[in-house]
Structure 1
């Protein structure tokens, strides 16, 4: 039987992966479902390589880039995990001086993986001080693979994870080179955290860019003052189902927002380590993100 190519992978495979990655399906069921496609002529190697991340191929900005300095920094987080301490990946531009805008970079539901670190480096290359906390710090940090990272993050108290990111935002905003204006960008779970940070404290962030993230609790939304750039994927039914009701509240509370729906894009389309990556849409969304931060926090 002739094997079918990556480009021909049916949408249902991406939907299965999304369900698996967000707790709606266990790994055995996910692999079994992929096996049903093998019987139709797809290679399991092609399927898994398209759906599962390959971080070695995703680096856009090297940590050795002369325009940035990448280190780790700890911060006080008395209401979070880690006995009052959190840790994150701090990337500062070396080609900029004076006070600079600062951006919190928030990972998905699996800890601080290489893709998120690269996003922080991209922001620093663009002239922002970027800080990417690791919600798994109290458990030893991102374990090196997403499956274990998801299990670890799901074992943690979500409310304490939220407080870790609040504390991280406060830490970054107080950075000695900060101009006092904090932006936040996050992906998937991180998109939810961006919405949460905007809602939990009206004065914490000055601009938020949630990529395919669900909204904060309805009871908090009246606090939102920061402008939001909502980035959604057309094929992401799970997250998109939450948007109409969220938009009604943003309108009701006079929140300045823009929403972009990226045509034929899957959840995770910005992540260049998987087959869900959509280069054209990802680049457009990223340029919009940089422009939005330059407008609101520079």
Structure 2
């Protein structure tokens, strides 16, 4: 059973979540996804109801208002000479942080569709907890997140993946060296952003002090370069990502890397994203509390 936090839970068949995962990761088209949903014919669940529940409603995802008096957010650009030349992201600073009162920093990595409102809200949640948060937009070279996830997903597919990684590396160094930074850098990411955490744990080396990938796939090589402790979060029903952990975990063990891994029962990929029916409040809140405790331990 899944449900948006402001609505009564909807009983949606697991196969519908599996199809959505295929669609969200580009394995099937929207037309195929909708056609499959239309074959279910479950009493009380129309095609429109299921589609609305499974796709994003970002009005549900705002936990921290953009004009919350305890934080200050703005969009800033940074240099990315090895990426797309210039990057842009959403920087959120806690109230009272300045050159004389520094704070640890956290880089926030979005999913495979650009910097959407859910990820911006995650950045505000971190700032509310006392961190300087920075959420880059991989789509900046194409004009930025278009306000539509389908279009954003299509746009991100056209970009060079290595340049996206380079942009996030540049963003991490920009953030770690920010005027208000304490010099400590953490990173959290979701889905594609979870992969970026795993990749930047390699590419940033000692510059990264803690990494938290949510349902992220591993990098392809270079694992011996990881120095940051990692905290992984997995959804028990997420067969695609969990299949990669089977191979990744023994590598980390063999190399003696520091990590913890949490798997949440009966939840789907994307369970932390509170804008769709995949959201699971209990698992999301537990995972987020663990994330904040992990950052407190390694960044404070």
TM-score, normalization: structure 1?
Answer: 0.95
Deviation at 1:89, TM superposition (A): 0.1
Alpha-carbon distance between aligned partners in 1 of 2:235 and 2:97, rounded to the nearest angstrom: 34
Deviation at 1:79, TM superposition (A): 1.2
Alpha-carbon distance between aligned partners in 2 of 1:69 and 1:201, rounded to the nearest angstrom: 27
CA contact (8 A) 2:97 2:180 kept: no
Deviation at 1:8, TM superposition (A): 2.0
Name the SS for the 2:64 alignment partner: coil
Deviation at 1:178, TM superposition (A): 0.7
Alpha-carbon distance between aligned partners in 1 of 2:275 and 2:199, rounded to the nearest angstrom: 26
Which is worse superposed, 222-231 or 88-97?
A: 88-97
CA shift digits 1:222-252 (9 cap, x unpaired): 1111000000000000000011211111111
Does 2:213 correspond to 1:192? no
1:254 alignment counterpart: 256
Deviation at 1:201, TM superposition (A): 3.1
Query: Pairwise mapping of residues 1-298 of structure 1 onto structure 2 (< 5 A)?
Result: 7-38=10-41, 42-81=45-84, 84-96=85-97, 98-217=101-220, 219-298=221-300
Deviation at 1:199, TM superposition (A): 1.2
Alpha-carbon distance between aligned partners in 1 of 2:74 and 2:204, rounded to the nearest angstrom: 28
Taking CA–CA contacts closer than 8 Å with sequence separation of 6 or more, which of the two structures ends up with the larger relative contact order?
2
RMSD, matched Cα:
1.2
Alpha-carbon distance between aligned partners in 2 of 1:290 and 1:106, rounded to the nearest angstrom: 16
CA contact (8 A) 2:198 2:217 kept: yes
CA contact (8 A) 2:114 2:152 kept: yes
CA shift digits 1:32-64 (9 cap, x unpaired): 001112366521121011100000121000011
Aligned length: 291
Deviation at 1:203, TM superposition (A): 1.6
Alpha-carbon distance between aligned partners in 1 of 2:164 and 2:109, rounded to the nearest angstrom: 11
Alpha-carbon distance between aligned partners in 2 of 1:156 and 1:286, rounded to the nearest angstrom: 30
Unaligned ranges ≥5, structure 1: none
Alpha-carbon distance between aligned partners in 2 of 1:29 and 1:6, rounded to the nearest angstrom: 26
CA contact (8 A) 2:10 2:277 kept: no
Alpha-carbon distance between aligned partners in 2 of 1:79 and 1:202, rounded to the nearest angstrom: 17
CA contact (8 A) 2:71 2:93 kept: yes
TM-score, normalization: structure 2?
Answer: 0.95
Q: 1:27 to 1:6 in 2, by over 3 A?
A: farther
**4+ residue stretches of structure 1 with deviation over 3 A?**
38-41
CA contact (8 A) 1:197 1:204 kept: no
Deviation at 1:282, TM superposition (A): 0.2
